[in-house]
Amino acid sequence: MRRLLGPLLIVAGIVGFLLLAGQGIAPDLVRGLSFLFAEQEEGKTIRGSAWVIDGDTLVVRGQRIRVAGIDAPELDQPCITPSGMEWRCGDVARAALGRLVVGKTVDCEVSEDDQYGRFIATCRVNGRDAGRWMVNRGWAMAYRRYSSAYVASEVRARENRRGVWIGTMQPPWEWRAAQK
Residue of 41 and 74 predicted with greater confidence: 74
pLDDT of residue 121 exceeding 70, the answer is yes
Q: How far is the C-alpha of 70 from the C-alpha of 30, rounded, in Å?
A: 27
Whether residue 28 is found in the same domain as residue 103: no
Q: Contact 75/54 with Cβ under 8 angstroms?
A: yes
Could you tell me if residue 177 is inside a domain?
Answer: no
Whether residue 21 is found in the same domain as residue 101: no
* 3 state SS of 164: helix
Q: Contact 78/64 with Cβ under 8 angstroms?
A: no
pLDDT at 3: 47
Whether residue 61 is found in the same domain as residue 149: yes
Provide the pLDDT confidence category of residue 43 given band limits of 50, 70 and 90.
Answer: confident
Could you tell me if residue 27 is inside a domain?
Answer: yes
With pLDDT > 90 as the criterion, what percentage of the chain qualifies? Answer: 72
Q: How far is the C-alpha of 13 from the C-alpha of 31, rounded, in Å?
A: 17
Whether residue 88 is found in the same domain as residue 19: no
Angle at 165 between CA 161 and CA 171, to 5 degrees: 155
Could you tell me if residue 128 is inside a domain?
Answer: yes
Q: Contact 157/136 with Cβ under 8 angstroms?
A: yes
Residue of 118 and 27 predicted with greater confidence: 118
Nearest to 65 by CA among 135, 25, 99, 112: 112
Mean pLDDT of 65-81: 97
Q: Contact 34/103 with Cβ under 8 angstroms?
A: no
Whether residue 16 is found in the same domain as residue 50: no
Q: How far is the C-alpha of 47 from the C-alpha of 42, rounded, in Å?
A: 13
Whether residue 79 is found in the same domain as residue 14: no
Whether residue 13 is found in the same domain as residue 52: no
Q: How far is the C-alpha of 56 from the C-alpha of 93, rounded, in Å?
A: 8
Q: What is the pLDDT of residues 155-177, one digit of tens each?
A: 999 999 999 999 999 999 999 99
Whether residue 87 is found in the same domain as residue 131: yes
pTM: 0.76
Residue 111 CB neighbours (<10 A): 14
Average pLDDT, rounded, for the chain:
85
Mean pLDDT of 114-143: 96
Whether residue 60 is found in the same domain as residue 30: no
Q: How far is the C-alpha of 113 from the C-alpha of 93, rounded, in Å?
A: 23
pLDDT at 116: 87
Whether residue 10 is found in the same domain as residue 52: no
Could you tell me if residue 48 is inside a domain?
Answer: yes
Q: Contact 126/104 with Cβ under 8 angstroms?
A: yes
Distance of CA 81 to the CA centre of its chain: 26
Provide the pLDDT confidence category of residue 5 given band limits of 50, 70 and 90.
Answer: very low
Whether residue 72 is found in the same domain as residue 15: no
Whether residue 86 is found in the same domain as residue 154: yes
User: Which residues constitute the domain of residue 30?
Assistant: 1-37
pLDDT of residue 24 exceeding 50, the answer is no
Work out how many domains the chain is built from and give that number.
Answer: 2
